[in-house]
Amino acid sequence: MKGFLERGVPKYSSRGSSATPSPNSTSPSVSSDSAPSESKPYKAASLWSSFFASAFAAFESHSESSPCEKKVIHTRSNGWTSAVKRVVTSGSMRRIQERVMGSSKTGISSTTSDIWLLGECYRISQDESSTGAASYDGIAAFKHDFSSRILMTYRKGFNSIGDTKYTSDAGWGCMLRSSQMLLAQALLLHQVGRSWRKSLEKPLDQEYIKILHLLGDSEVSAFSIHNLLEAGKDYGLAAGSWVGPYATCRSWESLARHRRGQTDSEHQTLPMAVYVVSGDEDGERGGAPVVCIEDASRRCFEFSNGQAAWTPILLLVPLVLGLEKINTRYIPSLRATFTFPQSLGILGGKPGASTYIVGVQDDNAFYLDPHDVQPTINISGDDLEADTSSYHSDLIRHIPLDLIDPSLAIGFYCRDKDDLDDFCHRASKLADESSGAPLFTVTHTHKLSKPVDHIDMSGDTEVQDDDSFGMVTMNDVGGLAHEDDWQLL
């Protein structure tokens, strides 16, 4: 549940820290490449979350006591653990969570403003030339699109994670599940395109079923929480512990690198490069993250094993946009990112409860919620008759943008160089219109960086040092770093 507060700094951090921070640790400064400082105010949520995780661990663990001792312990605690298990693995957990942190609002508001859902616009407004039926069609299309997004929730009953006794992630895995949803959307965009909608008839789409198989809850599935936790050990990921957006993004980068080393470029389970966008000078001075085209190209080149300068690429941008709550200066820019065709949404939500934000209408954010506990289902990659209903929801929840946790991460998927160029144009324009408070900026190359050898592989792939995107140089970013509220986004 406590999914937004950062939990780990990589052991090979540029700051040289090798210790794993405690759940209440804080960082003196905020950047995108050194784990952002934790938000402070959510002690109540933390205490309740700790109770749930500890209670769940109690009945997931097995005592090493002697048979005689086990009998005594079992008699003394059986009633308590049974009660906790019923609460944690049933709808009672959501009711308690909502009692502590506030209930979710559902449905669509009565406003006639347009809805943006992961780059798609649904027009609800009515003018003199439109009819009520047209407005209804917009709402119906939005609902169909929303319910077609892949939902990942807490699961129970899977094989234990690593050397632990955890067979469920209830109470602690919401950030991991939220990130799986974002990855699932990237895979859907890559494999079947943005126009894809879940079919009501069977057999189901082969590529869709393959994606669900990759996200299964076992070590066999490439993008299971089992494998994500293993890949994220250097960033503090561990079963039963909460983790923030930064560490989660870095863990996906690590998992993608690990999987790439196991297979050739033509049979990658994640068919795209991964680029976690960092701040100025690798995050050393804080400030807005910088999308560097040279870095993006380098990651594509590495992903293709030197065969191409550009490949599909997943951009992950972890941000901290305030201390106790989000700085409202950033809300217009956050809202605008959902108009990008490359949008993959946001890992974000209520303080202490990670969700996957997929759309906006006015100042409200629509999201998919991972906090329901469901039995484990591992779908075979060729089972086109599978029951996939637990991977979708038609319950539309929303939250005001100014109430989301300031620690979050934005995702984008670019299919090719042209798509990346379009993203850079949009991102640069958004930064120019941000009144000095950009979420991130764009540059061609790092200051004083060495040339990237593969950039000159062919004339049409060379990165030109021009002003086509209206981009700033890294030197310019350094100057902006002294502006008001720049160090802490």
- Write down the pLDDT at residue 133: 58
- Write down the pLDDT at residue 269: 87
Profile the chain (489 residues) by mean pLDDT over runs of 10 residues. 41 36 36 39 44 46 42 45 48 48 62 93 70 70 97 97 96 97 98 95 95 96 96 95 94 92 68 87 62 95 91 97 93 98 94 94 96 95 95 96 96 97 97 95 74 38 42 39 35
- Write down the pLDDT at residue 479: 37
| Measured distance CA(299)–CA(311) in Å, rounded | 9
Tokens representing residue 62 in the block: 């097995």
- Write down the pLDDT at residue 363: 92
Residue 289: is the preceding peptide bond cis (ω within 30°)? no
| Measured distance CA(52)–CA(324) in Å, rounded | 23
H/E element holding 257?
Answer: helix 245-262
Tokens representing residue 85 in the block: 């298990």
Which residue type does 370 have? P
Q: Looking at residue 366, what DSSP letter applies?
A: E
The candidate with the shortest Cα–Cα distance to 410, out of 348, 324, 322, 473, is 348
* Size (the chain), residues: 489
- Write down the pLDDT at residue 427: 97
Which residue type does 119 have? G
Pure H helices in 61-163: 67-88, 92-101, 132-148
| Measured distance CA(32)–CA(446) in Å, rounded | 16
Active-site residue (options: 33, 145, 280, 369):
369
The candidate with the shortest Cα–Cα distance to 336, out of 368, 369, 362, is 362
Half-sphere exposure of 230 (CA within 13 A, CB side): 19
425 is catalytic: no
- Write down the pLDDT at residue 465: 41
| Measured distance CA(65)–CA(267) in Å, rounded | 47
How far does Cα 163 stand from its chain's mean position?
26
- Integer-rounded Cα Rg, in Å, for the chain is 23
| Measured distance CA(317)–CA(412) in Å, rounded | 9
- Write down the pLDDT at residue 203: 95
CA distances from residue 253 to 36, 38, 44, 107, 313 in whole angstroms, order as listed: 17, 21, 32, 35, 11
- Write down the pLDDT at residue 30: 39
Residue 398 β-bridge partners:
105, 366
174 is catalytic: yes
Residue given tokens 């449905």 in the structure block = 107
Active-site residue (options: 371, 398, 444, 454):
371
Cβ contacts of 158 within 8 Å, gap of 6 or more: 167, 168, 217, 218, 226, 376, 378
Residue 276 β-bridge partners:
316
How far does Cα 52 stand from its chain's mean position?
23
The candidate with the shortest Cα–Cα distance to 149, out of 188, 104, 123, is 188
The candidate with the shortest Cα–Cα distance to 272, out of 342, 331, 354, is 342
Q: Looking at residue 436, what DSSP letter applies?
A: T
- Write down the pLDDT at residue 54: 47
369 is catalytic: yes
Burial of 19 (0-12, 13-18, 19+ CB in 10 A): exposed
| Measured distance CA(184)–CA(190) in Å, rounded | 10
Active-site residue (options: 145, 174, 217, 405):
174
Tokens representing residue 316 in the block: 């992950």
Do the beta carbons of residue 33 and residue 275 sit within 8 Å?
no
| Measured distance CA(449)–CA(443) in Å, rounded | 12
Burial of 225 (0-12, 13-18, 19+ CB in 10 A): buried
| Measured distance CA(338)–CA(358) in Å, rounded | 8
Predicted structure pTM score: 0.75
